[in-house]
Every structure is written in structure tokens, then in C-alpha cells.
Structure 1
């Protein structure tokens, strides 16, 4: 039986987090919610929904993901697959089954849930998000002959391959860092089209001008850093 753990970074997602946890398939061995300095009932609601709850007070998406990874590394039983999923309920957690299928059935190393424009709810991605995804994936195609079309946060990776990536970004560059390192290490990868809806609550990144600009700068910095390595 494949051992799967889900890591969910969450900052003030009290309303959405129970829905996310409830919709995760019950064959997942553990759901880990990392409260990233939340000031609402995110931690309480996640515990009530059955998740393991960790706290990471250093604000940053990457900080939260790394905290979850550190927790997993201290456990006796190593998982086969780690799935990363946002806590805002914009993804469809039940689609985890098709995200992990290529890893389990075809030995693919890394799978991204690509937010296909034909499957996205109107307004679920902002203009800056759409442009940022296009720019980043286009640059990766030019510089690394990548076939990525999205930086989607819903993703699955073999646990040993994840450890070998030696992830380090602490904030908004986490997703693109992972994809760039996958390319550099020549891991096998695949994109699976997934549905995407309007999130519950307001985005902490794309919902602000500052957040969108900072995320864009981080993404471009990682791409150009790796293009000259």
C-alpha cells in the first residue's frame, strides 16, 4: 500500500480548511496543516477536522512547507509520496487521486495539477497570476526545454526525490524552485489538468499588489539563477 502524506500551508484559512481536509481521499495516511502565523481559528478547525496541526510563526509559504517536511523527516515510517495542497479550497482535494496516479502506476517522479483554463472557474485566477504563470513557464521552456504550463500549488512528488531537491526558498519562490530543480535533476514529470475555483476568502499573494510583485520577483530570480548554473 502506497504511503501518502499531505502538507497544507495555511495562513488564516479558518473557514476553508475544514472543507479541504474533508475532501481529501481517506486512503491518505496523514494530513498535516502548517499554520503559518495564523491569527484566526485555522488551527482549531484543522484539528477538529482530523488533521495534524503544526505551527510555523515565520511568515512565508516556503517556511510552512519546510516545517511540514521537517516533521515528516522525524517520523519512523517514511512516506512514499508527499502531496502539497493549498488551504483555501481553490483546488479540488478529491482530485488527489489523479495527481498521484502517474507516480503509483507509471513511476513518474513529480506531478503538477495544472490549472487548465478550460477547467478554471471565472475569476479564480487574477490577471497577474495568469501572466506570471505564462512568463515563468515560457522562460522555463526557452531556457530548460521544459513542458510545464503552470506553477500550480497542487502537486505530488516521491518523498526521496523531494529530499534530494534540498528545497530552500522560504516564501513565494517555493513552487518554481521545485520545478527548476526537477528539471536540473532530470526527474520524470507530468502535468495533470485539474479543476480550479474561486478561493474562500482573500488571497494573501495575488490579492495584493505588493504580494503579486514580490511573488513575481522571486519567481524570476529563481529562473535566472538556475539559467546560469
Structure 2
């Protein structure tokens, strides 16, 4: 698989200050890019278009999960054999895109996820604790070794997106993708990445998102058990 065959999907919300630079850096690395504007109130969509991205615009803000599902649907209408998802706020380094592509080509994995936990010293401590806990739970449920379940920098082959059923609207989609991929028998692997944390207030609330995580997990386990009995 070549760079030109791997579509970079970027969900974005109110990122007019960062999105043009990010799109330009992704394109400079040789990858096509689509930005899903999740109902931004600023000029995120225009900035992304001006930088050369294909842009899907959602009329109202619905959450990262909805934006990603919209982006994946867009990919499935094309012939791209894989997607790489990255955040729009500058946390993820486009220079590492090639590492994800190499992992897809060389490891036999259908899903490749960035692992921030090999060097987590720059990660806010509450995020570090909740991520380790969530990753342990996802590992137990999926029966695969999940090093970093909440990292949004990840690559997925087309066959994964064609088979998994995604329903969540917000950040729970990070966990849902891994659980669904594991349930469908896909191999998940991890590569170390560097993550940059800005001083701005994060949209992630570790406590509230942990509550959402357990609510999602309970519903997911109930649903999958029902499917297994059917």
C-alpha cells in the first residue's frame, strides 16, 4: 500500500487556528486528507478547504464519534484501502503517518494504534491513570493486549470499516472501534508515538468521560451477549 492510497481522516471542531497548518503538513507527507467539520462555529471548514483538504461539513456539533462515522462512510464511497485517523488540535505529528502505513504493510495487522504509554511523562496525570485503567478493561474484554485504548491516532484497513458496527457519538468510539475489531477477529497492533499536549483547556473531561466509558461498556457487553445467544 502506498501513501496515496491511505486516506487521512481528521474530525475537527473549532480548530481554525490549527487545521490549515495540519492539512498542509499531511499533504506534504504525501497523504490525501479529508476533514470532517463537526458543526464548528468558526472558519474551520474554510481554512481546511483553502489548505487543500476535502471537507465534509456537519450542520451542528454532534461529537467525535458521529464525525468519525461520517468520515468512514465517506471513505467507503471511494476505493481507498485504508484510513489513518488523527486529531485536529496538533497533538499528533504528521511525520509519524508513514510509521502507521509501514505497520499496516509489514505486521499483518488490520488495525494499528498509537501508543503514548511507552513515554507518558508529558501526559496529564489524570489522563495517564484513566487511560491505563480503561486499556486494562478493554484488554480483558477484547482478549488482545491493548496498550493504549484511548489514543485517537490510529490506522484501519478498509475491511475493518466494512465489517464493524459503530454506534457511539462521542469519545467512546475509540474503545468501540477496538472492541468491534477484536470481536470480528481482526489483529490490533501498536506503535510508539510522541504526543504534544497544548496548554489550552482540553475538551476531554477524564471523570465524565470515564462515566461515559462505563455506560458504553455496559451497553456493549449486553448487546454482544444478546448477539451471541441469537
Q: Aligning the two structures, in what range does the TM-score lie when normalised by the shorter sequence? A: 0.7 to 0.9
Deviations 1:69-122 (A, max 9, x none): 2222333xx11111111000011111011112121223311000111352x563
Name the SS of the counterpart of 1:195 in structure 2.
coil
Higher relative contact order (CA 8 A, sep 6+): 1
Aligned length: 218
Tell me whether 1:198 sits opposite 2:193 in the alignment. Answer: no
| Aligned pairs for 1:75-224 within 5 A | 75=78, 78-118=79-119, 120=120, 122=122, 125-150=123-148, 151-199=150-198, 201-205=200-204, 211-224=205-218
Q: Is the 8 A contact 1:116 1:195 kept in 2?
A: no
Deviations 1:180-199 (A, max 9, x none): 11221221111000001123
Q: Shift in Å at residue 65 of structure 1?
A: 0.7
Q: Is the 8 A contact 2:72 2:161 kept in 1?
A: no
Alpha-carbon distance in 2 for matches of 1:43, 1:199: 22
* Other-structure match for 1:49: 51
Q: Is the 8 A contact 2:29 2:95 kept in 1?
A: no
Alpha-carbon distance in 2 for matches of 1:74, 1:49: 23
Q: Shift in Å at residue 200 of structure 1?
A: 7.1
Q: Is the 8 A contact 2:130 2:210 kept in 1?
A: yes
Q: Is the 8 A contact 2:138 2:175 kept in 1?
A: no
TM-score (norm 1): 0.86
Tell me whether 1:73 sits opposite 2:72 in the alignment. Answer: no
Q: Shift in Å at residue 221 of structure 1?
A: 2.7
Alpha-carbon distance in 2 for matches of 1:142, 1:62: 23
Structure 2: runs of 5+ lacking an equivalent: 226-230
Alpha-carbon distance in 1 for matches of 2:117, 2:39: 31
Structure 1: runs of 5+ lacking an equivalent: 206-210
Alpha-carbon distance in 2 for matches of 1:204, 1:134: 19
Alpha-carbon distance in 2 for matches of 1:95, 1:134: 23
Which segment drifts farther, 149-158 or 38-47?
A: 38-47
Taking only aligned residues, the RMSD between alpha carbons, in angstroms, comes to 2.0
Alpha-carbon distance in 2 for matches of 1:89, 1:106: 27
* Other-structure match for 2:228: none
Q: Is the 8 A contact 2:6 2:81 kept in 1?
A: yes
Change (3 A) 1:200 1:163: farther
Q: Is the 8 A contact 1:121 1:196 kept in 2?
A: no
Name the SS of the counterpart of 1:55 in structure 2.
strand
Deviations 1:161-192 (A, max 9, x none): 12201211111211000011122122111100
